[in-house]
Amino acid sequence: MTTLDAKLDRVLGAKSGKALETALGLVTVGDLLRHYPRRYAERGELTAIAGLEIDEHATVLAKVERVTKRTMKSRRGTIVEARITDGHRSLTCTFFNQAWRERELVVGRRGMFAGKVTSYRQQLQLAHPEYQLFDDEATDIGSAAEEFASALIPVYPSAQGLPSWSIARCVGQVLDVWDGTDDQLPPEMRDRLGLADLESALRKIHRPHSFADVAAAQDRLKWDEALSVQLVLAQLRGSNQSHPAPVCPRRDDGVLAAFDQRMPFELTKGQREIGEQIAEDLTVEHPMNRLVQGEVGSGKTVVALRAMLQVVDAGRQAAMLAPTEVLAAQHARSLRELLGDLAMAGELGGAEEATRVTLLTGSLGAAQRKKALLEAASGEAGIVVGTHALIQDRVSFADLGLVVVDEQHRFGVEQRDALRARGGEETSPHVLVMTATPIPRTVAMTVYGDLETSALRELPQGRSPISTSVVPVAEKPTWLERAWTRIHEEVAAGHQVYVVCPRIGDDEETAGKGKKKTRKTAVDDSDGGGEEPPPEDGEERRPPLAVLDVAEQLGAGPLAGLRIGILHGRLAADDKDAVMRAFADGEVDVLVATTVVEVGVNVPNATVMVIMDADRFGVSQLHQLRGRVGRGSAPGLCLLVTEAVGGTTTRERLDAVASTTDGFELARLDLELRREGDVLGAAQSGRKSGLKMLSLLRDEDVIAAARDEAAHIVDQDPALRNHPGLARMVAEVVDADRAEYLEKT
Ligand code: ADP
Ligand code: MG
């Protein structure tokens, strides 16, 4: 019997089994059959070389254009260089000490070439590629080898040592002996939705005769993924409803009412509406689970504070978790500021309704820490502010009613479960997650499907616009000089500036992209021979700019005379806090920092943000970063400094960030660009993930339909007792690491 559970080494032999496991993590027949082709090449098609990205592992269909053999001056080695072409651009394949390649790689022959794309002296390369040549031009690709018998050649996500065609051969062998599988979907659903059965979908995805076959198979396989994820989420929502929660009724004579009376500004419409939703959620006896997405500066803190005050009014406590100590300290400070004497319970001058805001971070001294823990445990602290890690595991509360999680859109289901299970309290606290990372609808439905989501789309009145420009130093070096001049002007006008770099510097960091790679011995052999062969990995990318270096250079050069501060994660918490405070108080003109300033930091007087090596940051990170400026009355300016040249995907990403300040639009663009970037087979990991086929960008309607279907099924049959096939599908998803759905975006 060859079922989906059968081990690959039994079916394919130990050697192939081992190779698939090591390179791609595939162990069973099911694993291999779920390793879907990334795309399909048509007979006679050549891969567009212009579309390749440096560093990706690519499979290229191309034609041999020219072959040369050279002897290295060291006399001991030879280099065979084969230029392959798609008819427009060419790519060099280099082989060291493999002279026989010259006989095999005959000019005019076509084949598939697989390897890592590198660049050397402006020329794209595949170093030591693996290849399979097709027989001859007349028979072309189609009949070249058995696995290419169909008009469509599957191109698999591959890995070094395991090229696409080897995977195709293994898949073929498996399909020949596979017994097929039972369908997990109820036949009624399959018919109603016009979906293919599972076995034929799996066969067609690997051996399609036409693109119609591919489409039919994809429809089915996508549906399975969408439905199983949505079933899991529907079950989570259901079980959440069954927990008791601390009921926090509204009162109009408590600290919330007192705060509302003295609030320094009018709430925006969005703040009012979301506030209303939350206030209502808190009065119900099952826990709120709400995600508030709001542009940077949209005023989420006040929304959270008002929710916390309602909880305090009910005689319970609220905890606010921030991702870093700097942020936690700043939150505690701004909550106290907003509350004034309403935060001074037990102190001289405290208001009658007052509560207490307690800060709890790892860097507190022993005595302070003990005091803070006591305030949490006794219930004296109405609001406890701390970092995620700290509060999650170690603090006990008298009566925790609400947890606010700030700026942590990755706060996953497990973490929320852990919070709930904590301390074995009978009730589960309400949870409010806040993020400035706009989340496209499909992602929200898929990743946060067990949360209610609300969006704060407008900014408070009087917020100033931010304009963003790309500073392409490779093409326009003078623009950077102008940028520094502009900074002098801003400072002269009384404003402040951030300069953000990707790295701290003064290296003890080990990882990082600029790390040296070890070279192959074949290359080392020729050292000192006078003729330098290309390094195996092509040109090394220079390491990203570092805070410490940049601060020094700016201070000695373009920004001499300005007061420059430094902020990064390796500083002691006290120092970080001191620097932030000095910046907030206007004692520092230019803050050179890592992304510590990414979230939540609020210095309204800062008007310019310069991001060095901007291409090393993600789109949403850049968006968050620039949200640090334009928070006061003066307009904000963000400069994205990069060496990336026009026309590359990298530059496109930066141009996208410069083109709009609508975070939701950007999130969509980002999703799109990242997808396009890996069309041909970027980094292949063998990790299993629940989502292989479903695209969060393009399959919105599938996801929405699956969500409705799942809600309906779980409503009637919460444990899926009457749906054993679906229960199995769900079990498979639950096994996969949930975090990976996120990475998928
Ligand atoms: P974020 O959503 O990025 O966390 P904050 O909550 O830090 O934003 O708010 C940014 C600034 O806007 C704060 O100084 C806050 O006091 C102010 N703010 C919040 N709501 C309003 C409002 N309705 N009108 C004017 N200013 C507001
Ligand atoms: Mg905030």
pLDDT band at 680 (very low <50, low <70, confident <90, very high): very low
Q: What is the pLDDT of residue 441?
A: 72
Residue nearest atom 9 in ligand 1 by C-alpha distance: 299
What is the C-alpha separation between 151 and 145, in angstroms, rounded? 12
Whether the predicted pLDDT of 463 surpasses 90: no
Cα of 463 to ligand 2 centre, how many Å? 15
pLDDT band at 74 (very low <50, low <70, confident <90, very high): low
Across residues 205-226, what is the average pLDDT? 94
CATH number at residue 134: 2.40.50.140
Q: What is the pLDDT of residue 144?
A: 41
Look at residue 227 and tell me if it is in a domain: no
651 or 198, which is more confident: 198
Task: Tell me what percent of the residues of the chain surpass a pLDDT of 90.
Answer: 44
pLDDT band at 600 (very low <50, low <70, confident <90, very high): low
* 25 and 158 fall within a common domain: yes
* 619 and 477 fall within a common domain: yes
Answer for the pair 133, 543: CB distance below 8 angstroms, yes or no: no
What is the C-alpha separation between 390 and 315, in angstroms, rounded? 23
Residue 374's CB is within 10 A of a number of other CB atoms, namely 12
Token pair for 142: 């189609």
Strand, helix or coil at 337? helix
β-bridge mates for residue 322, sequence order: 387
Which segment of 97-101, 198-202, 371-375, 689-693 scores lowest on mean pLDDT?
689-693
Cβ of 164 less than 6 Å from ligand 1:
no
CA angle 391, 393, 397 (to 5 degrees): 55
pLDDT band at 515 (very low <50, low <70, confident <90, very high): very low
Cβ of 208 less than 6 Å from ligand 1:
no
510 or 343, which is more confident: 343
Q: What is the pLDDT of residue 603?
A: 87
* 273 and 407 fall within a common domain: yes
CB-based contacts of 149-153 (< 8 A; 24+ apart in sequence): 150/207, 150/208, 150/209, 151/42, 151/43, 151/209, 151/210, 152/40, 152/41, 152/42, 152/43, 152/208, 152/209, 152/210, 152/211, 152/214, 153/40, 153/41, 153/42, 153/43, 153/61
What is the C-alpha separation between 567 and 547, in angstroms, rounded? 8
Token pair for 167: 């995977």
* 17 and 124 fall within a common domain: yes
Q: Which of 68, 145, 60 is nearest to 107 (CA)?
A: 68
Across residues 206-233, what is the average pLDDT? 92
Cβ of 434 less than 6 Å from ligand 1:
no
Answer for the pair 164, 156: CB distance below 8 angstroms, yes or no: yes
Whether the predicted pLDDT of 198 surpasses 70: yes
Cα of 463 to ligand 1 centre, how many Å? 9
Cβ of 158 less than 6 Å from ligand 1:
no
* 356 and 492 fall within a common domain: no
Answer for the pair 302, 456: CB distance below 8 angstroms, yes or no: no
Residue nearest atom 18 in ligand 1 by C-alpha distance: 299
* 657 and 607 fall within a common domain: yes
Look at residue 140 and tell me if it is in a domain: yes
- 109-131 burial, b at 16+ Cβ within 10 Å, e below that, comes to bbbbbbbbbbbbeeebbbbbbbb
Token pair for 75: 């006399």
* 259 and 169 fall within a common domain: no
Look at residue 231 and tell me if it is in a domain: no
Per residue in 627-671, pLDDT (tens digit) is 888 777 788 999 999 998 877 778 888 998 999 888 777 877 776
**pTM for the whole structure:** 0.65
What is the C-alpha separation between 730 and 227, in angstroms, rounded? 9
Q: What is the pLDDT of residue 151?
A: 66
Token pair for 77: 């080695």
Secondary structure of the chain: what % helix, strand, coil (to 5)? 40, 20, 40
The dihedral built from the CA positions of residue 483, 484, 490 and 495, taken in this order, carries a sign that is positive
What is the C-alpha separation between 648 and 704, in angstroms, rounded? 34
Whether the predicted pLDDT of 146 surpasses 50: no
Across residues 526-530, what is the average pLDDT? 31
Q: Which ligand is nearest to the CA of 462?
A: 1
pLDDT band at 416 (very low <50, low <70, confident <90, very high): low
* 607 and 549 fall within a common domain: yes
Cβ of 298 less than 6 Å from ligand 1:
yes
Q: What is the pLDDT of residue 123?
A: 80
Tell me which range, 114-128, 235-249, 253-267, is most confidently predicted by mean pLDDT.
Answer: 253-267
The dihedral built from the CA positions of residue 170, 176, 181 and 185, taken in this order, carries a sign that is positive
What is the C-alpha separation between 493 and 468, in angstroms, rounded? 20
Return the amino acid letter for 622: L
* 32 and 101 fall within a common domain: yes
Across residues 140-163, what is the average pLDDT? 63
Whether the predicted pLDDT of 87 surpasses 90: no
Look at residue 82 and tell me if it is in a domain: yes
404 or 142, which is more confident: 404
* 47 and 169 fall within a common domain: yes
- Give residue 268's Cα distance to chain centre: 30
DSSP 158-172: -BTTB-HHHHHHHHH
Q: What is the pLDDT of residue 511?
A: 41
Look at residue 651 and tell me if it is in a domain: yes
Say how many Å lie between the first and final Cα of the chain, rounded. 38
What is the C-alpha separation between 68 and 50, in angstroms, rounded? 23
Pocket test for ligand 1, best of 302, 457, 598 (most atoms within 8 A of CB): 302
Across residues 75-100, what is the average pLDDT? 87
Cβ of 436 less than 6 Å from ligand 1:
yes
Please enumerate in sequence order all residues whose Cβ is within 8 A of that of 79, keeping only pairs 6 or more positions apart, or say none: 69, 70, 72, 94, 95, 96, 533
pLDDT band at 332 (very low <50, low <70, confident <90, very high): very high
Answer for the pair 106, 146: CB distance below 8 angstroms, yes or no: no
Domain that holds residue 267: 255-282+299-435
Cα of 689 to ligand 2 centre, how many Å? 32
Look at residue 240 and tell me if it is in a domain: no
Average pLDDT, the chain: 82
What is the C-alpha separation between 620 and 328, in angstroms, rounded? 22
Cα of 61 to ligand 2 centre, how many Å? 49
Strand, helix or coil at 493? coil
* 555 and 645 fall within a common domain: yes
Eight-class DSSP state of 356: B
Total domain count for the chain? 3
Cβ of 268 less than 6 Å from ligand 1:
yes
Q: What is the pLDDT of residue 652?
A: 84
CATH number at residue 578: 3.40.50.300
Last residue of a domain, one of 121, 145, 179: 179
Q: What is the pLDDT of residue 534?
A: 41
Position in ligand 1 atom list of the atom nearest CA 265: 24
Look at residue 645 and tell me if it is in a domain: yes
Which segment of 138-142, 612-616, 635-639 scores lowest on mean pLDDT?
138-142
Q: What is the pLDDT of residue 508?
A: 52
pLDDT band at 140 (very low <50, low <70, confident <90, very high): very low
What is the C-alpha separation between 441 and 707, in angstroms, rounded? 12
136 or 656, which is more confident: 656
Cβ of 302 less than 6 Å from ligand 1:
yes
Cβ of 398 less than 6 Å from ligand 1:
no
Q: Which ligand is nearest to the CA of 623?
A: 1
Across residues 688-712, what is the average pLDDT? 81
Look at residue 537 and tell me if it is in a domain: no
Q: Which ligand is nearest to the CA of 663?
A: 1
Last residue of a domain, one of 435, 450, 485: 435
**DSSP β-ladder status, 57-71 and 78-85:** antiparallel
Cβ of 117 less than 6 Å from ligand 1:
no
Residue nearest atom 16 in ligand 1 by C-alpha distance: 299
Across residues 710-731, what is the average pLDDT? 92
What is the C-alpha separation between 570 and 576, in angstroms, rounded? 9
H helix intervals, 155-268: 164-177, 187-193, 198-206, 211-241, 255-262
* 143 and 23 fall within a common domain: yes
Last residue of a domain, one of 119, 152, 179: 179
Tell me which range, 396-400, 548-552, 677-681, is most confidently predicted by mean pLDDT.
Answer: 548-552
